[in-house]
Amino acid sequence: MQQINRLVAQLGIDHRARALSTTGLALTVIPEVRISDLGGLLDVATQEFIPLFYER
């Protein structure tokens, strides 16, 4: 794990969790937006999917 953490740091990730920095990004109960395999961006509060693109 120390080796992988060093590699992750070399790629620029300086979050404290290092190689585990992304492990919560698909946990669709932590505010405010997360990613779901079922539809992409999810509004955690409403549990509704947010479109990736919108018309300006």
Partner 1 sequence: VRASEVFVGGQLVVEKGKLIVPIEEPPTSMSIENTVHIQPLTEDALTPQAPIANGEIGVNLMVLDPTRLTRLAQVTAQVHNHKVDLASLGEDICYLAVVPRHGQPHAPAVVFLQGLHLQRGALATTIAHDSHNLLVAGRSVQDMLVAIRALAACGGGIAVADEGKVLGKVALPLAGLMSLKPVAELAV
Tell whether residue 38 is a contact of partner 1 (CB under 8 A).
Answer: yes
Tell whether residue 46 is a contact of partner 1 (CB under 8 A).
Answer: no
Distance CA 23, CA 27 (A): 8
Tell whether residue 47 is a contact of partner 1 (CB under 8 A).
Answer: no
* Residue whose structure tokens are 């300086």: 14
Cβ atoms of 40 and 54 closer than 8 Å = no
Tell whether residue 1 is a contact of partner 1 (CB under 8 A).
Answer: yes
Q: Which residues bind partner 1 (CB under 8 A)?
A: 1-4, 7-8, 10-15, 17, 19-28, 30-41, 43, 50-56
